[in-house]
A = this chain, B = another copy of it.
Amino acid sequence: MLFSKNLLSDSIKNLALLLIFTFIFTNQAWADDGYRLWLKYNRIQNASMRAAYSKSFNFIAVSGNSDILNSAAKELQTGLTAMLGKPVQIVKNPLNNQNGVILSVSAGIASGDGYSIGMRGGNTVITAPKDAGVLYGSFALLRHLQQHLPVEKVAGQSSPKIQLRMLNHWDNPEGTIERGYAGSSLWKWYELPETVDPRYTDYARANASIGINGTVVNNVNASARFLTAEYLPKVAALAGIFRKYGIKTYLSIHFAAPKTLGGLKTSDPLDPEVRKWWTEKTKEIYRAIPDFGGFLVKANSEGEPGPQDYGRTHADGTNMLAEALAPFDGVVIWRAFVYKADPTADRFKAAYEEFAPLDGKFAKNVIVQVKNGPIDFQPREPFSPLFGNMPGTPLGMEFQLTQEYTGFATHWVYEAPLFKECLDADTYVHGKGSTVARIIDGSLHNYPLTCIAGVANTGSDRNWTGHPMAQANWYAFGRLAWDHTLSPEAIAREWTQLTLTTEDKDVSTISDIMLRSREIYVDYNTPLGLSRPWTGSHYAPEPWQNRSSRPDWTAIYYHRADTLGLGFDRTATGSNALQQYRPEASRAWLRAETCPLPYLLWFHHIPWSQNLNSGRSLWDELCHRFYTGADSVRWMQKQWAGVKSSVDPAIHADVTGRLMKQHKEAIWWRDAWVLYLQTFSRKPIPTIYPAPGRTLQEVKEIVNSYLMR
């Protein structure tokens, strides 16, 4: 006998103690800093569930060999090993083995980037027509297991409805991010290409896990740097990593680069030398990055150069670039975000007026990228009237994930309802059911190219997005880009299960907060169709802002408050912007009486005392929204406090702090608007609400703190 009984017991005791100690210590070191996003792969604590899963996943077999397939196998290995608490090997040949995952590229029911998962010969088989589909299927399997769903139920197939599912990074060469609230840029341009941050791979994994297949690495207010021989190898180093996860790399370009970089006398898109310069530059890019995606362009917009500088049209500029990219199957994504500084015009109408007449004039490899609303990523906007009005030109969607107008990193706003509201909006251009989603996915106008982009909310912060809950916006964007029929609720539940807890009750509580969060924000921030695209700090309330370098960069241009009332008349008695919509789409909006309250002040100038269909006067309804909105943050706090036991303590504490700040700032917004608008309405705040504990001047002073140099 090798051990005496006592020795044995002692050995076991010591081992067990050490194990417990290691475990405690490990857990401490692993306090959740949010870095792992929704790819946590936590060990499944329920032993019988773990055992059940374990039986089905003894190996991963890859038939075929490619970087993307290897990424899929590696991810499965990482995920399964961690969740099951046992090593899972990657094998080349499954032979007749059972109870493994088999990855295989072959034509099947799934199309495009799609995949199907099925059970065959005792194995879980992921097949797809393309490598990328296998990768997406692998992530789908992992997602399924992370949600603790039955193995058998994973079978099925899924294909994305939109071809190009992209992030747009507004990252500058010096490392800052325009409208970024999560630290500095992920891309370390000074260090590339020699030093390659391991984080680039985790970024690619996160994107691939939700089906994102393209990324524009630099700001649309673009530096020409990225087109230089010095920078292309840097971009290529990133592209080399992204490629392994099925992600194509794109660049924002500076339209005047032929002059500033090429030394030409002009950047006129019809000039042969200019066209030659772009052709050569494009060839150079493809030599460095053979699968380069194409160019994103902000031209003749907010001071950026463009074809109009030479008397040419947007189509002229676009088509020049399209011609250079066409031999390589590259695309031009041309932004429709344009507006002139005309005090008599309505910025709402500008994009339509400039672009609708150009419909059909763009080359085949062009996408015109349209922001969801006609102005600029406000907390709520009607859908852009361009959607549906360019049947001959593929229109791409541009959503904003980064919370420029929705509270930076201190307000919890789940954006899926905002995205969905736009996607589900009916343009009526081919009768009822002509939703924006059906325009974007190409089904309505048979677009040959389809595209959806999210302005990224990522940065160098350890948790990627600043506010831990803002990870859900990145996630939801990817999921909706893949399948716009998913509901915000389903995505919220899914994300919560992957990221925070699998406790059913708490999943419901958290997704409840998420689903109400945007409406709460709108209520205290911009209720009833107010908007806030003023200059200054986009962090602080400034409805009084009335001076700027251009009229449409003031607050008063938008809300039009006066002693009579509030709101922008966009009916026939006003700017008549509503005429840009189909009558069926705008019918309800045309009359104040029928206009849904969330859109009221977008379209009408309403007298302060006018009774709304809520039964309250405009003034009272405004007060009601501002007050109940701010109060609702307390509700969010209480709900969040209730899930403390099942959420990681570090994340729980972090969000608790942010909710405190959010409440304080919600009251700040409420007070700013109410006190400011009161100078016009000259009405009392309904007595059921406490009067603001400060004067308008005092509120302004706080705002001024944030405007000081």
Q: Are B709 and A195 in contact, with the CB atoms below 8 A?
A: no
Cβ-defined contact, B181 with A190, below 8 A: yes
- A25-B82, A228-B705 known, 17 other contacts, Cβ within 8 Å: A18-B85, A21-B86, A22-B23, A26-B26, A173-B708, A181-B190, A194-B410, A194-B657, A194-B660, A195-B661, A196-B657, A225-B705, A225-B708, A229-B702, A260-B709, A460-B461, A462-B462
Partner-contacting stretch, out of A5-13, A381-389, A558-566: A5-13
What are 7 A-B pairs at a CB distance below 8 A?
A2-B9, A21-B85, A21-B87, A22-B22, A175-B184, A195-B660, A229-B702
Residue from A82, A460, A701 having most chain B Cβ neighbours under 10 A: A460
A184 contacts B181, C-beta separation under 8 Å: no
- A9–B9 Cα distance when bound, in Å, is 11
Known: A223-B709, A658-B194, A664-B194. A19 touches B21 (CB 8 A): no
Is A615 part of the binding interface, using a Cβ–Cβ cutoff of 8 Å? Answer: no
Q: Does A176 contact B (CB under 8 A)?
A: yes
Cα of A224 to Cα of B701 in the assembled complex, Å: 13
CB pair B231–A705 under 8 Å, yes or no, is yes
A224 near B708: Cβ-Cβ < 8 Å: yes
Task: List residues of chain B with CB within 8 A of the CB of A486.
Answer: none
User: A12 vs B654: C-alpha distance in the bound complex, in angstroms?
Assistant: 41
Q: Are A706 and B30 in contact (CB under 8 A)?
A: no
Judge if A691 is at the interface, Cβ distance under 8 Å: no
A357 within 8 A of B: no
Q: Tell me, yes or no, whether A345 is within 8 Å of chain B by CB.
A: no
| Whole-angstrom CA separation of A199 from B228 in the bound complex | 38
Does A210 count as interface, using CB distance less than 8 angstroms? no
Does residue A261 face the partner (Cβ distance < 8 Å to B)?
yes
Alpha-carbon distance A218/B114, docked complex (angstroms): 51
Contact present for B23 and A12 (CB under 8 Å): no
Whole-angstrom CA separation of A22 from B24 in the bound complex:
12
Contact mask for chain A residues 623-667; partner B; CB cutoff 8 A; 1 contact, 0 none: 000000000000000000000000000100010011011001000
Which A residues form the contact surface with B (CB < 8 A)?
1-3, 5, 8-9, 11-12, 15-16, 18-19, 21-23, 25-26, 29-30, 81-82, 85-87, 173, 175-176, 181, 183-184, 188, 190-191, 194-196, 198-199, 223-225, 228-231, 254, 260-261, 408-410, 459-462, 466, 539, 650, 654, 657-658, 660-661, 664, 701-702, 705-706, 708-709
On whether A705 and B230 interact (CB within 8 A), knowing A19-B22, A194-B660, the answer reads yes
Task: State in angstroms the CA–CA spacing of A550 and B705 once bound together.
Answer: 32
Residues of B within 8 A of A183 (CB): 175, 183-184, 460
Report Cα–Cα, A701/B262, bound state, in Å: 11
* B709 and A224 contact, CB distance less than 8 A: yes
**For the complex formed by this chain, how many copies does it contain in all?**
2
Contacts of A22 in B (CB 8 A): 19, 22-23, 26
**Closest partner residue, chain B, to A657 (CB atom):** B195
Question: Quick check: A190 and B708 within 8 Å, CB to CB?
Answer: no
Whether B191 lies near A657 (C-beta < 8 A) is yes
The reply to whether B190 and A539 form a contact with Cβ atoms under 8 Å apart is: yes
Closest Cβ neighbor of A199 among chain B residues: B462
Shortest CB-to-CB span from A217 to chain B, Å, is 16
Contact assessment for B21 and A18 in the assembled complex, using a CB-CB cutoff below 8 Å: no
Which residue on chain B has the smallest CB distance to residue A11? B12
Q: Which residues of B contact A702 (CB under 8 A)?
A: 229-230
Cβ contacts under 8 Å, A224 to chain B: 708-709
Instruction: Specify which chain B residues have a CB less than 8 angstroms from the CB of A409 in the assembled complex.
Output: 188, 190-191
Residues of B within 8 A of A181 (CB): 190
A22 — nearest CB in chain B belongs to which residue? B22
Given A1-B5, A195-B658, A460-B460: A708 touches B650 (CB 8 Å cut-off): no
Hey, which chain B residues are within 8 Å of A657, CB to CB? 191, 194-196
* Distance between A673 CB and nearest chain B CB, rounded to angstroms: 19
Shortest C-beta distance, A4 to chain B (Å), equals 11
**Pick from B1, B15, B650: contact of A19, CB under 8 Å:** B15
Q: Please state if B228 and A708 are interface contacts (CB–CB under 8 Å).
A: yes
Top 6 nearest A-B pairs by Cβ distance?
A195-B657, A230-B705, A194-B661, A194-B660, A228-B705, A184-B184
- In Å, the complex CA distance between A228 and B654 comes to 25
Residues of B within 8 A of A86 (CB): 21
A707 (CB) vs chain B CBs: closest residue? B225
Q: How far is the CA of A260 from the CA of B708 in the complex (A)?
A: 8
**Of A3, A86, A175, which is in contact with the most chain B CB atoms at under 10 Å from its CB?**
A175
Beta-carbon contact of B708 and A261 below 8 Å: yes
* A87 neighbours in B (Cβ, 8 Å): 21
**Residues on the B chain within 8 Å of A15, using CB:** 12, 15-16, 19
Q: Give the distance in Å from the alpha carbon of A455 to the alpha carbon of B181 in the complex.
A: 25
Residue of B nearest to A655 (CB): B195
**Once the chains are docked, how many angstroms separate the CA of A654 from the CA of B462?**
18
Which residues of chain B come closer than 8 Å to A198, judged between CB atoms?
650
Q: A195 to B86: give the CA distance in the assembly, Å.
A: 38
Once the chains are docked, how many angstroms separate the CA of A15 from the CA of B10? Answer: 13
Of B16, B29, B173, B223, which one neighbours A30 at CB under 8 angstroms? B29
Asked whether B460 lies within 8 Å of A230 as measured between CB atoms, the reply is no
What is the distance, in angstroms, from A82's C-beta to the closest C-beta of chain B? 8
- Residue with the greatest number of chain B CB neighbours at <10 A, chosen from A3, A194, A461, A658: A194
Residue of B whose beta carbon sits closest to that of A23: B22
A21: chain B residues at CB < 8 Å are 85-87
Q: Which residues of the partner chain B approach A660 to less than 8 Å between Cβ atoms?
A: 194-195
User: Closest residue to A459 on the B side, CB-wise?
Assistant: B184
Inter-chain CA distance A410–B189, complex, in Å, is 11
How far apart are the CA atoms of A230 and B661 in the complex, in Å? 12
Q: Does B3 contact A8, Cβ atoms closer than 8 Å?
A: yes
- Report the separation of the CA atoms of residues A462 and B202 in the bound assembly, to the nearest whole angstrom: 14
Q: Which residues of chain B are within 8 angstroms of A188 by Cβ–Cβ distance?
A: 409
B-chain residues with CB within 8 Å of residue A196 when the two chains form the complex: 657
Closest to A664 in B: B194
A18's partner among B3, B19, B709 (CB-CB below 8 A) is B19
Q: By the criterion CB–CB under 8 Å, are B19 and A191 in contact?
A: no
With A and B bound together, what is the CA distance between A459 and B185 in angstroms?
A: 13
A671 to chain B, nearest CB (A): 14
Question: How far apart are the CA atoms of A1 and B16 in the complex, in Å?
Answer: 20
**Bound complex: CA A634 to CA B654 (Å):** 46
Residues of B within 8 A of A654 (CB): 195
For A230, the closest partner residue in chain B by CB is B705
Minimal beta-carbon separation of A182 from chain B (angstroms): 9
Among A225, A231, A708, the one with the most B-chain Cβ atoms within 10 Å of its Cβ is A708
Residue of A30, A87, A188, A650 most packed against chain B (CB within 10 A): A188
Note all chain B residues with C-beta closer than 8 A to A539: 190
